[in-house]
Amino acid sequence: MVFGKSSVQLTETEAALLAAVLPGPELYRVDQPSAVVLRHQDWILQQMAQLGSDYLKKLEPVSDSQKLQ
């Protein structure tokens, strides 16, 4: 659990920060984000805005059998 909540409860800003940290969690911290992480978070938020607020709803769910392929 990050930010004291489950993933479905994350705000877009929190989700973008988490995504910005994931390429190097041993180097970057969610609780003390560096300037590099904050710039990456901002870029991610811009990409999310370009895709539109309902872009995740447009994705088709992936079944367990599809995940294994």
* Per-residue pLDDT reduced to its tens digit, 2-47: 788 888 888 889 999 999 999 888 888 888 999 999 999 999 999 9
Chain-centre distance of CA 29, in angstroms? 14
Going by the DSSP 8-state scheme, the letter that residue 60 receives in this structure is P
Under 8 Å between Cβ of 11 and 2 = no
pLDDT tens track for 40-68: 999 999 998 888 877 767 766 665 555 55
- Return the domain boundaries, the chain: 10-41
pLDDT at 25: 82
Question: Tokens representing 20?
Answer: 């910005």
Going by the DSSP 8-state scheme, the letter that residue 36 receives in this structure is H
